[in-house]
Amino acid sequence: MTKCPAGAGEGALPWWREAERADCSPDHDAGPPGRRRLSGRDAAHEPATEPADRDPSASCAGAPHGAACTDAVVSALDSARASLGLGRYPLPANFDSLSGARQIFILANLDRIAYGLTPIEGVAPALAASAQTGVRTDADPNPTATLSALPRYAWTSDWAGGWLNAPYAYYEWMYDDGYAGAATSNVDCTGPAASGCWDHRRNLLAFAQPGTIAMGVAVGPDAHGAAGYAITLVWTPGQTWSNYSYTWAQANSASAGAPRRPRR
């Protein structure tokens, strides 16, 4: 799914590859041989209306990666979450100083846990190349080449470009993904009932079934020097298939998921 500030994709619900496909049904958007796209959507994970927009950019002038900007984006994230009846993001104390990739990983897991979904086990270096390609080419990552030896897997992916920092891109994926007329930033959400609306959010909250989930994530400039953000989630039914550069256990040990103290 493609996400750009006001104006300028392609989308993907989870792709499946299975040695046995008895529990996998194709839909009209079935992909290349060996991969099929899940149809349907989980309405419980989609806001009935888009949360009121809180633009944090006034706090970001000249320092989009500074603490003031990050804190302003986190405040917007907390406000959007509250509008859905959820508490503040229980972020680790060092969230401001983490890399953008780790910030996205933590935010995604906190939302998955809030909705009772399996958390992402870790950031997989094996998926880094596809995520980096997504950033460089302004496109959704496609990790299929990395996964071809696995007998069964599924994946989703998102891309965003031009946003001030990684938490801001995540905000757009999760809370500003519906139809907003001329202000719509999801280029696949062409109308209030378009199938592409809220796809970024659904991709981050995919895979309700038991299994192992790994993330590939990249943050950096695209070929033209603009900020880019890309993620892919890969589900497998069994044990871990990759090593991790950063795990949810490590984030937990740094207090991710613990009640957050007010910022001073």
Residues above pLDDT 90, as percent of the chain: 58
d(CA 136, CA 221): 7
Confidence of residue 56 (pLDDT cuts 50, 70, 90): confident
Q: Are strands 36-37 and 15-18 parallel, antiparallel or unpaired?
A: antiparallel
Q: What is the pLDDT of residues 91-129, one digit of tens each?
A: 998 999 999 999 999 999 999 999 999 999 999 999 999
**Domain 55-253 is in which class?**
alpha beta
Res 18 pLDDT > 60: no
Enclosing H/E stretch for 215: strand 212-221
Which of the residue ranges 71-75, 125-129, 252-256, 260-264 would you say has the lowest mean pLDDT? 260-264
Lowest mean pLDDT among 21-35, 47-61, 106-120, 210-224: 21-35
Q: Among 13-27, 125-139, 229-243, where is mean pLDDT lowest?
A: 13-27
Report the range of poorest mean pLDDT among 10-14, 129-133, 243-247: 10-14
Q: Where are the domains of the chain?
A: 55-253
Tally Cβ neighbours within 10 Å of residue 161.
22
**pLDDT-based confidence at 63, cuts 50/70/90?**
confident
Q: Give the single-character DSSP code of 186.
A: B
pLDDT, mean of residues 201-230:
94
Mean pLDDT over 24-30 rounds to 28
For residues 105 and 246, the answer to whether their CB atoms sit within 8 Å is yes
Determine the pLDDT at residue 260. Answer: 59
Selection from 223, 229, 94 nearest residue 172 by Cα = 229
Which tens digit of pLDDT belongs to each residue from 168-192?
999 999 998 888 888 888 888 999 8
The owner of tokens 């609306």 is: 197
Token couple for 218: 């990249």
* Mean pLDDT, rounded, of the chain: 81
**Which one has a higher pLDDT value, 57 or 226?**
226
